[in-house]
Structure 1
Amino acid sequence: MIDKIRNILRNKDNNQLIKNFFSLSVLKLINAVLPFVTLPYLIKVLGMQQYGAIVLGLALIAYFQAVTDYGFNLSATREIAKHRSSNNQLTLIYSKIMYTKAYLLTFVLLILIPVIFIVPQFKEDLIVYLLMCLMLIGETLFPEWFFRGVEKMGYIAGLNLIVKLSFTIGVFGLINTPEDYWLYPLLLGVSYIAVAIISHYIIFKNFKLRIVYIGLIRVKKTLKVGFPLFVNQFVPNLFNNTTNFLVGMILGKTYAGYFGATRQVVQLLTVFDSVVSSVAFPYLIRFKDKFHVFSKHYLILVAIVSTFLVIVHQYIFDIIGIKYEYDSEVFYVLILGFLSIVCYTVYSTNYLISRGHDNIVMKLTILTSLVGFILSFPLIQYFGILGGAMNIFISQFILGSGSYFYYKKIEKKGTL
């Protein structure tokens, strides 16, 4: 047994996979734990209404962040993984993605800022929404897709650690009254921008890359090629983010805070899924025959971890200060949604997309998102916060079951 483990570790690809897993595990653990360190404090100091304003602001920014991301964490990662041995190709890919992101960022800011000033519901917390733009800028400029493509997840872990620690220290040191809630987006935005600058310095110095001029024609081509994955990444906002947004707009900022805090608990599992999916994606592109072993063992592990969180969730709720009507029921429904989304990441992201079936995933995602978008208003209107959870679950269930259906269909045909 020991010899078998040693042989596995001696293999260069397996060794890199394990390093990436632990690097991203540390990153995601930090991303999961630090918000839980600050969440009870923020709810206590700011109150659920002010915290709800932050949740609503994050929901607004998420629409525009999905545009600037443009699915590059999949499409650019895939391209980097295929050409990582060529410095010239990496320079070209790096440059065209950054130029494209710069155009997208300019485009969304020209829309977002007027929207913040025009919509009456945003005027009460105007400074919060405007400062959220800093976070949008920082996240847009952060080249996570590059580090994922070259399978150097340690850089992502280290840089995100800087963001989260800086933000957490700032929260405890500077946010002391409900009126300080505007500091939340300021601290987060400044941290993201600083880390984005550091990350590009690392790319220049350690990977010997540079920015070369990319004309508008190549930018348009990049947008065209990446469009299916952009749609795949963006349209889930129609049910996922819109649900958060409508809970705040229909039920009020206090309920937005409760719903956001409950989803933060489920985020513990989502973080775990994100680690595994991020590490597995570039690996499974190169070793497609490993998928069946990966999917079988991973789904079993997810079922065990989910069961544990269901058992202990009430203790977590008590620590954070989550207590409202149907709080456990909302949590159970969201857990079922999480299990469905794991099937989606396994069979869509790590099977269909890794094999280039982007259009299939795009069509499935569009259909699901439209269903979720249509159902979101009536479900929240008639069933309140529980209706919001139901909408998330219904949409995620369609995604998960649909992904599995197409996986079986392609496997039956013997398509790679």
Structure 2
Amino acid sequence: MNTVTERKRLFSNVLSLLVLQGANYLLPLLTVPFLVRVLGVENFGLVAFITAVVMYFIIITDYGFNLTATRKVSLCRDNPQQLATLVSEVFWVRMLLCGLSLSVLTLLVLGIERFQSHAFAYYLAFGMVLGNALMPVWLFQGLERMAYITVLNIGARCVAVAGIFLLVRQPSDYWLVLLLNAFGYLLSGMVAVYIQIFRLKIPLHRPNIHTMLMQLRDGWHVFLSSISISFYTISSSVILGLFAGNVALGYFAAAEKLIAAVKGLTAPVMQAIFPAVSRKMVENQQAAFRFVKQVGLVMLVLLGLACLLLVWFAEPIVTLVLGPNYQASILLVQLLAITPVVVLLSNIFGVQLMLPLKLNKRYSQIYVVAALLSLTLALILVPLYAELGTVLTIISIELFVMLAMGFSVWRYLRLNTSITAEQSNV
């Protein structure tokens, strides 16, 4: 960093996101041992299936703005009028996409029997989509005011977790889990909009169709990559639930919760440095590459050690956290333990380097190909091997994405003679 002020701001943002990410993973993880026992494997799998479906709509309403809009906010944050215009455009686009998502959910409920049988639960869970659409994470991140995100999310999640422990008492209470999670999203989203308008003094203007369309166009490639990512993350749960049932999905979802906690160890740091990397790529590419390399190496070492410990102690961890009825999740945890490291490398190559270098099109192309490969593998492996087939599909696709993005960065460095040999060592 160039100044003491920038270092302090980055440290504050990293600390805020560390606390936030820890809460995002640890608070729900506190409920996992309780829910897997109270709901049982089947209803725990049902909650995972409904949540996975709703996550599709969250990705649609996000539309990649957590990357594209964050970068734009970081560049125009000193221009109040331009910033207010940008914030209004992104807000109304997300509201429009939220309305379209609700229409699609209604079509699914009316047309597919599996959705009809739990229609009420799907609509309850949709509150997460609206709450997420209201929450301007991209604004706070671009302004490097992550403390707001931390306080709001932790407060809302604490309310949801407390409600789960107090109110969920039997397997038929699965819908309360969805309702309480949705309430947490809505609460944090509404308070965030209040802070944006009345504390940060960033008003919402009337929607302008032309500028909204421009935002949709600008975010298309990142959105395409985001929706493609869902085919080997979220879709893995959906396909497993459709072909193997809620019990198999319950074993996988429980293992995935443990892996998600490990993945979250480095996410705050990588999320916090993205605005700084975006600015440095414009000002000084040498400094940007050097900064990403330094941070990336530290994160890789720490995460690698955590993953090795998870493999070694998988059996006692699963028995302690999930209980004796989830022995089938032990192998899944051990196999999936490689994915946090692979995903971190993909983030370094893709988010931290490819996007600031404006390789958006190649970035999205990689994820589109990954989505097609994932769908093909899942349709072959899941009917044969159930939850194990899902895990093998995820590992294969994550490796493909990492290698493809690494190759893209290497190729960019080779073709651009303006980048020094020092950068080529990244």
TM-score range, shorter chain: over 0.9
Structure 2 residue aligned with 1:341: 343
- CA offsets per residue over residues 176-219 of structure 1, 9 Å max, x none? 11121111111111221121111011111221110112311111
Structure 2 residue aligned with 1:387: 389
Structure 2 residue aligned with 1:233, among 217, 223, 226? 226
Rounded Cα–Cα distance in structure 2 between residues aligned with 1:303 and 1:407: 22
Structure 2 residue aligned with 1:178: 171
Task: Please say if residues 242 and 376 of structure 1, whose CA atoms lie closer than 8 Å, have aligned partners that are also in contact.
Answer: no
Find out whether 1:275 has 2:268 as its counterpart. yes
Rounded Cα–Cα distance in structure 2 between residues aligned with 1:361 and 1:9: 29
Give the 3 Å change call, closer, same or farther, for CA 315–293 of structure 1 in structure 2: same
Equivalent residue runs for 1:192-341 within 5 Å = 192-288=185-281, 289=287, 290-321=291-322, 323-324=325-326, 327-341=329-343
Rounded Cα–Cα distance in structure 2 between residues aligned with 1:10 and 1:285: 17
- CA offsets per residue over residues 376-399 of structure 1, 9 Å max, x none? 111111122111000001111011
Structure 1 residue 244, shift from structure 2 partner = 0.7
Structure 1 residue 309, shift from structure 2 partner = 2.4
- 2:114 partner letter: Q
Rounded Cα–Cα distance in structure 1 between residues aligned with 2:306 and 2:38: 32
Structure 2 segments unaligned to the other structure (5+ residues): 282-286, 420-426
Structure 2 residue aligned with 1:125: 118
Q: TM-score, normalised by structure 2?
A: 0.92
Structure 2 residue aligned with 1:142, among 125, 129, 135? 135
Task: Please say if residues 337 and 394 of structure 1, whose CA atoms lie closer than 8 Å, have aligned partners that are also in contact.
Answer: no
Q: RMSD of the alignment, in Å?
A: 1.7
Structure 2 residue aligned with 1:21: 14
Rounded Cα–Cα distance in structure 2 between residues aligned with 1:268 and 1:351: 25
Structure 2 residue aligned with 1:51, among 35, 44, 50? 44
- 1:333 partner letter: L
Rounded Cα–Cα distance in structure 2 between residues aligned with 1:176 and 1:326: 25
Rounded Cα–Cα distance in structure 1 between residues aligned with 2:310 and 2:276: 29
Q: TM-score, normalised by structure 1?
A: 0.94
Deviates more, 1:31-40 or 1:164-173: 31-40
Task: Please say if residues 167 and 188 of structure 1, whose CA atoms lie closer than 8 Å, have aligned partners that are also in contact.
Answer: yes
- CA offsets per residue over residues 96-138 of structure 1, 9 Å max, x none? 0001111111111111122123211123322211211111111
Q: Secondary structure at the match of 1:238?
A: coil
Q: Secondary structure at the match of 1:85?
A: coil
Structure 2 residue aligned with 1:3: none
Structure 1 residue 237, shift from structure 2 partner = 1.2
Structure 1 segments unaligned to the other structure (5+ residues): 1-7
Rounded Cα–Cα distance in structure 2 between residues aligned with 1:244 and 1:223: 28
Rounded Cα–Cα distance in structure 2 between residues aligned with 1:302 and 1:351: 20
Aligned residue pairs, count: 409
- 2:312 partner letter: I
Structure 1 residue aligned with 2:398: 396
Q: Secondary structure at the match of 2:337?
A: helix
Structure 1 residue 339, shift from structure 2 partner = 2.0
- CA offsets per residue over residues 211-238 of structure 1, 9 Å max, x none? 1123111111110111001001111112
